[in-house]
């Protein structure tokens, strides 16, 4: 680590020395050049200045907002203005010579919204004339934060959310399935829409996209069927026992096609069931559904997520469909084992309350099935004062040591204080009192998934520092 820090420091120092030498040459080596600004300007190359890179002065064919670039050519004496995509960008005249100068691509430079006449251009202005150079300008690197449905049927739409997702021209699905047509991009780059193609690998993985701002990977959870715990259609086994009112039996699953856009896939579970409605206020463990548990459930360490994976980089994922507004009362308890009586906000469980957003009641409803992703770092065991989960191995070990290693869901309908959601003690006084409810919730495709994603670089040919 000390070696790496030293090398990075030396890189930064080397770049600084280079820039200082350049600045000296700017003011001392141009005595014979045209100082009146009448010489013809010409750009021969543009270089990205990045002290953190293995190549701190790199010849490039595009730059991003906020980056420092060095423009090389001739005729720059007397330079007055630099317009990038039509936006006047500041430069320091001290760092201008007849053959080179430095300029930062201002963060306010327009990209896709720039007028077509000036988009992807650099215009230099001085008293003796102007010069325009074609050069691609990109916004900050795009990123993917969420996918509306991570296990859709072929032909169904998905919405990929994030930032910088403008003018998406190519989507590569797991299994190297490439889509270049039918992609609808948001003008602000906050999402794009595309239909699920045939042939996507059931091993799952990341989606890769390319647009006007470059490329980005999603987390490696798309179509991740090798992580399935229970899909009610032959993968995994449902466990049901006794005749308690709360237990959902295997015979009580439903299979009618429901949902719009993203429809159901064979059998699925509804909770609460019709026979359990209405659910009274202040009642826990109102409805429950489980995997078969001991001796039947898979060892979670065989599901493709490495044992050493941090809990923030792996998750429980499932699909949900809520056709009518769900608001003001009730939540799903995601149980890591069959060891809860109901009402807990501790240990290896997580209470999913989608109708509480930023401390406010916002009715939750879906038109079709959509994916819910809950990182294991959000389970209360990961926030414990002692014995907290830190890796996926800890999650698997807790299950392996449980007397009843079933995984399942409760529907609960108790009062909630806001601090249970936010973790802030100052929110203890904000209370949401439970009410009688007849909400309809459908769930399917329970699975363990990775949240890791491949690193994307603008310069894939750059060698990584191995030390």
Q: How confident is the model at residue 153 (pLDDT cuts 50, 70, 90)?
A: very high
Quote the CATH superfamily of domain 38-136. Immunoglobulins (2.60.40.10)
Q: Which of 344, 345, 352, 382 is nearest to 370 (CA)?
A: 352
Q: pLDDT tens digits for 276-294?
A: 999 999 999 999 999 999 9
Q: pLDDT tens digits for 200-218?
A: 999 999 999 999 999 999 9
Percentage of residues in the chain having pLDDT higher than 90: 86
Question: What pLDDT sits at residue 35?
Answer: 58
Domain covering 141-215 in this structure, CATH number = 2.60.40.10
SS3 state of residue 392: helix
* 134/211 Cα distance (integer angstroms): 19
In 225-339, the DSSP E strands lie at: 228-230, 238-239, 269-270, 283-291, 314-321, 331-335
Answer yes or no: is pLDDT of 333 > 60.
yes
Higher pLDDT, 242 or 272: 272
Question: What pLDDT sits at residue 112?
Answer: 87
Answer yes or no: is pLDDT of 449 > 60.
yes
* 69/92 Cα distance (integer angstroms): 13
- In the chain, the largest separation of any two C-alpha atoms, in whole Å, equals 97
| Residues paired with 179 in a beta bridge | 171
CATH class label, 224-448:
mainly beta
Contacts of 119 (CB under 8 A, 6+ apart): 85, 110, 111, 112, 137
* 62/80 Cα distance (integer angstroms): 23
| Residues paired with 194 in a beta bridge | 158
Question: What pLDDT sits at residue 36?
Answer: 53
Question: What pLDDT sits at residue 464?
Answer: 47
So where are the chain's domains? 38-136, 141-215, 224-448
Answer yes or no: is pLDDT of 305 > 60.
yes
Mean pLDDT of 241-250: 93
Question: What pLDDT sits at residue 91?
Answer: 96
Answer yes or no: is pLDDT of 72 > 60.
yes
Taking all residues of the chain, what is their mean pLDDT, rounded to a whole number?
Answer: 91
Distance of CA 447 to the CA centre of its chain: 18
Percentage of residues in the chain having pLDDT higher than 70: 91
Tell me the H-state helices in 311-452: 392-400, 419-422
Question: What pLDDT sits at residue 21?
Answer: 41
Answer yes or no: is pLDDT of 297 > 50.
yes
38-136 and 141-215: identical CATH topology: yes
Question: What pLDDT sits at residue 34?
Answer: 53
Mean pLDDT of 403-409: 97
Question: What pLDDT sits at residue 2?
Answer: 38
């Amino acid at each position: 680590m000390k070696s790496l820090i030293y090398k990075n420091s030396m890189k930064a120092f080397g770049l600084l020395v280079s820039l200082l030498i350049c600045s000296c040459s700017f003011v001392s080596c141009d005595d014979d050049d045209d100082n009146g600004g009448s010489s013809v300007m010409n750009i021969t190359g543009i270089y990205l200045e990045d002290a953190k890179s293995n190549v701190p002065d790199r010849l490039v064919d595009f730059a991003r907002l906020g980056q420092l670039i060095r423009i090389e050519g001739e005729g720059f004496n007397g330079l007055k203005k630099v317009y990038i995509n039509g936006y006047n960008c500041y430069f320091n005249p001290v760092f201008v010579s007849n053959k080179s100068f430095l300029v930062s691509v201002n963060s306010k430079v327009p990209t896709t919204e720039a007028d077509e006449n000036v988009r992807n251009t650099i215009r230099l202005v001085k008293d003796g004339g102007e010069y325009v150079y074609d050069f691609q300008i990109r916004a900050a690197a795009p990123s993917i934060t969420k996918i509306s449905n991570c296990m859709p049927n072929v032909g169904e739409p998905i919405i990929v959310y994030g930032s910088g997702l403008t003018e998406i021209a190519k989507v590569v699905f797991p299994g190297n399935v490439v889509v270049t047509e039918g992609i609808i991009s948001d003008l602000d780059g906050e999402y794009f829409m595309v239909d699920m193609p045939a042939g996507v690998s059931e091993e799952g993985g990341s989606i890769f996209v390319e647009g006007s701002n470059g490329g980005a990977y999603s987390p490696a959870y798309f179509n991740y069927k090798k992580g399935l715990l229970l899909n009610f259609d032959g993968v995994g086994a449902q466990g049901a026992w006794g005749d308690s009112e709360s237990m959902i039996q295997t015979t009580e699953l439903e299979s009618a096609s429901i949902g719009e856009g993203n429809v159901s896939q064979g059998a699925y579970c509804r909770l609460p069931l019709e026979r359990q409605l209405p659910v009274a206020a202040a009642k826990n463990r109102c409805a429950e559904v489980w995997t078969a548990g001991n001796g039947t459930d898979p060892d979670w360490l065989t599901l493709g997520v490495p044992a050493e994976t941090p809990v923030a980089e792996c998750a429980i994922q499932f699909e949900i469909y809520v056709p009518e507004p769900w608001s003001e009362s009730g939540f799903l308890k995601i149980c890591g084992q069959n060891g809860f009586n109901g009402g807990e906000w501790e240990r290896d469980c997580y209470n999913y309350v989608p109708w509480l957003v930023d401390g406010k009641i916002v009715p939750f409803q879906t038109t079709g099935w959509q994916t819910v992703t809950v990182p294991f770092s959000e389970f209360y065991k990961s926030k414990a004062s002692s014995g907290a989960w830190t890796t996926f191995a800890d999650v698997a070990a807790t299950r392996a040591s449980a007397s009843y290693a079933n995984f399942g869901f409760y529907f609960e309908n108790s009062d909630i204080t806001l601090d249970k959601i936010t973790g802030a003690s100052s929110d203890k006084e904000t209370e949401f009192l439970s009410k009688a409810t007849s909400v309809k919730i459908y769930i399917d495709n329970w699975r363990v998934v990775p949240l890791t994603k491949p690193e994307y670089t603008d310069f894939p040919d750059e060698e990584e520092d191995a030390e």
